[in-house]
């Protein structure tokens, strides 16, 4: 069998973001959807965040995966089709592709077109017996999956604690959609960041080198470029903090002076100190994890953690 990459790689239409942006910026509480972070530069900055000292999530999850991947392979069984939601740089999935017995197919789904195309062709070269079927899509929207060759079981992979970027009710609804994709007896391998002390969380989302700040501010640069807006980035600052009562880290862009911005012909006024809420990262405890996964129709088959109990990798069965 030879390496194959299908062609579901068409970039997502820019026109789709105008509505999201205007709707968020004209609301009384200004917001922008977190998916806007991931243009080419945003995807590059996120990769850099994943290597930061303060951002413990990526290396912790990788260490758990390395320690558990053999057992995961055994529990999943042979000829699985792997569907990854938010495939990014495609590093973690290599551990799975190496551990699974004769994986039949890999469907990486990502919003960042350039990265998805590059990673898919690298994987096709390195895993010639696996059908690589990339899908460039916003996976929070209904998806039509590419054709997947014959396989015995579907395993969805949703690492990185991206589940934390959904509000809890939306998280359950999203996992329910994954359950439909994997079908009865299908599995989901989920990365989940645990609730912990505020100092660790605040540092993870406001690193000393300012990479997360650049990642957050880049969304304004993207809106300037793609929607012809005139945001002056020097008039905004990155703000990130753990909101204890809500159990989430919030990222905002805060206007440092009162001013007005033109966004696709719509004037948007900012008061001094006003913020645009750009992201939430919910941090889970065990009860919340059980509530959300059960509401989605999954049972916890096995849960692994690291020596410091910072992060979970959870194998769920539909």
Q: Which is nearer to ligand AVI, 95 or 203 (CB)?
A: 203
293 binds ligand AVI (CB under 6 A): no
Question: Around Cβ 158, how many Cβ atoms within 10 Å?
Answer: 23
162 binds ligand AVI (CB under 6 A): yes
Query: What does the alpha-carbon distance between residue 83 and residue 148 come to, in Å, rounded to a whole number?
Result: 10
Q: Residue for token digits 């999201």?
A: 20
Report 19-58 residues binding ligand AVI (CB under 6 A): 49, 57
In Å, how far are 15, 38, 72, 176 from 296, measured between CA atoms?
32, 27, 21, 4
What pairing do the DSSP bridges indicate for beta strands 187-193 and 153-158?
A: parallel
**CB-based burial, 7-20: b 16+ in 10 Å, e otherwise:** ebbeeeeeeebeee
Site string for ligand AVI, 54-93 (x = CB under 6 A): ---x------------------------------------
Q: Which is nearer to ligand AVI, 80 or 189 (CB)?
A: 189
Query: What does the alpha-carbon distance between residue 159 and residue 102 come to, in Å, rounded to a whole number?
Result: 21
Tokens, residue 108: 């990486």
In Å, how far are 112, 226, 246 from 91, measured between CA atoms?
15, 29, 31
Site string for ligand AVI, 194-213 (x = CB under 6 A): -----------x------x-
Of 4-12, 157-165, 228-236, 296-304, which part binds ligand AVI (CB under 6 A)? 157-165
160 binds ligand AVI (CB under 6 A): yes
161 binds ligand AVI (CB under 6 A): yes
- Among 60, 68, 218, 281, interactor with ligand AVI by CB under 6 A: 281
For residue 97, how many C-alpha atoms fall within 13 Å in the half-sphere facing its CB? 21
Of 18-26, 100-108, 154-162, 305-313, which part binds ligand AVI (CB under 6 A)? 154-162
Q: Which is nearer to ligand AVI, 30 or 238 (CB)?
A: 238
3-state class of 187 per DSSP? strand
CB of 147 vs ligand AVI, minimal distance in Å: 28
CB of 276 vs ligand AVI, minimal distance in Å: 15
Residues that bind ligand AVI (CB under 6 A): 49, 57, 160-162, 164-165, 205, 212, 279, 281
């Amino acid at each position: 069998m030879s390496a194959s990459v299908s062609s579901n790689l068409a970039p997502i239409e820019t026109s789709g973001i105008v509505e999201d942006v205007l709707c968020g910026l004209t609301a009384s509480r200004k917001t922008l959807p977190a998916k806007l972070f991931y243009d080419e530069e945003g995807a590059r900055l996120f990769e850099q965040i994943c290597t930061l000292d303060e951002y413990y999530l990526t290396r912790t999850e990788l260490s758990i995966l390395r320690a558990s991947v053999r057992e995961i392979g055994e529990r999943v069984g042979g000829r699985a089709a792997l569907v990854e939601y938010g495939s990014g740089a495609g590093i973690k999935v290599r551990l799975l592709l190496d551990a699974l017995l004769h994986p039949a197919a890999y469907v990486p789904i990502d919003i960042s077109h350039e990265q998805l195309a590059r990673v898919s062709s690298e994987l096709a070269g390195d895993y010639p017996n696996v059908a690589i079927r990339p899908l460039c899509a916003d996976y929070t929207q209904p998806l039509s999956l590419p054709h997947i060759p014959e396989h015995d079981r579907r395993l969805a992979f949703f690492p990185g604690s991206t589940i934390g970027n959904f509000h809890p009710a939306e998280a359950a609804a999203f996992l329910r959609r994954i359950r439909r994709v994997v079908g009865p007896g299908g599995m989901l391998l989920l990365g989940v960041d645990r609730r912990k002390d505020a100092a660790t969380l605040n540092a993870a989302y406001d690193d000393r080198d300012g990479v997360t700040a650049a990642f957050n501010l880049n969304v304004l640069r993207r809106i300037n470029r793609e929607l012809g807006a005139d945001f002056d980035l020097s008039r905004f600052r990155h703000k990130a903090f753990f909101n204890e009562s809500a159990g989430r880290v919030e990222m905002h862009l805060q206007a440092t002076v009162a001013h007005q911005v033109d966004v696709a012909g719509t004037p948007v006024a900012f008061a001094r100190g006003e913020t645009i809420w750009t992201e939430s990262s919910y941090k889970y405890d065990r009860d919340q994890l059980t509530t959300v996964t059960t509401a989605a129709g999954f049972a916890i088959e096995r849960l692994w953690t690291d020596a410091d109990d910072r992060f979970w990798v959870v194998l769920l069965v539909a």
